[in-house]
Amino acid sequence: MTNRRDFLKKAGLGATAVGASTLAAPAIAQSTITWRLQTYAGPALAEHVIKPAIDQFNAVAGDEMQIELYTADSLVPTGELFRAMQRGTIDAVQSDDDSMASPTEVTVFGGYFPFASRYSLDVPVLFNQYGLAEIWAEEYEKVGVKHISAGSWDPCHFATKDPINSLADLQGKRVFTFPTAGRFLAQFGVVPVTLPWEDIEVAVQTGELDGIAWSGITEDYTVGWADVTNYFLTNNISGAWVGSFYANMDRWNELPDHLKTLFNMMADSSHYYRQWWYWGGEASLRVNGTKMALTTIPDAEWQTVEDAAHVFWDEIAAESETKARVVEIIKRYNADMAAAGRPYRYT
């Protein structure tokens, strides 16, 4: 980590990429605009959640612009991503607001805000049709960062070494999860633990962690967590992770309009890929996966958790006017979905 920080101090990261840290860094012309983008995802996950879209961007942009992609913690720790981007030591980020510790009023809603969504399509509708995109843009402009677009990832489930069949089974479980999810789950006896992403698998093997509440089953299989956990809880606390693309505002403003458009299209391509990759994977691996046994907390008992989420929403709304605006949109959206009925909501 000391070497990484020393590296970051040198000439705004310099002109030479750290080859071992990048995914397929291309050869570039001297006049090419070069951006460094770090994702929250480790190498195996990045191959799906962002690399295909970056490869498409680089192929189309050619000598005009190239994006060098860095995986989780390879330039800066995930918790320092926002500050590094704000300072311009890196140019762009793919992450959620919560885990990169952005200093905005909307940070608490990034990642997994309990029960704000049921399905992955809820996220783009909330942003593009119910007004969250405008609020995120306003909040990030205040701190010198361009919020480019938000999209959905997988739902939030527990993957554990011991079976979870009731809320009582959560008591004392040391779980790697997101800050807001951990804050919410603590009332049910969960002990949230924060560790570097790359250390999670070993932490489960050594007993430092009892489980993970960071993803759905697709990621558990993709990144290796299904190899060190025995059970997958089918109940989830959120239907989709909310993540975004961001850029340093000065770097964004320097781009010509056609490259801004291309970057937006790249982000949309990434969002679309994840939409079907996760949706299909979550179902297929529950049915055909062989590495984890499925467990379920009965609906009547799990309703306790859903009811607590609505209390949590009101607690968050009381913290600021902006948070209250977001919570009101989430409430209105979910009420609309419930009123619409099947297939939007099942009762």
What's the alpha-carbon Rg for the chain, to the nearest Å?
A: 20
Per-residue pLDDT tens digits for 45-99: 999 999 999 999 999 999 999 999 999 999 999 999 999 999 999 999 999 999 9
Tell me how far apart the alpha carbons of residues 113 and 333 are, in angstroms, rounded to a whole number: 14
Q: Locate the domains of the chain by residue range.
A: 2-103+145-150+243-281
* Parts of the chain with a pLDDT under 70: 1-29, 347
The bridge status of strand 65-70 relative to strand 211-215 is: unpaired
Q: What pTM was estimated for this model as a whole? A: 0.90
| CATH code for residues 2-103+145-150+243-281 | 3.40.190.170
- Does residue 303 sit in helix, strand or coil? helix
pLDDT at 198: 86
**Cα 294 to the chain's mean position, in Å?**
24
C-alpha to C-alpha distance for 288 and 84, rounded to whole angstroms: 41
At residue 26, the pLDDT reads 53
Which sign does the torsion angle of CA 100, 316, 310, 325 carry?
negative
Given this model, what pLDDT does residue 325 score?
A: 98
Q: Provide the 3-class DSSP secondary structure of residue 37.
A: strand
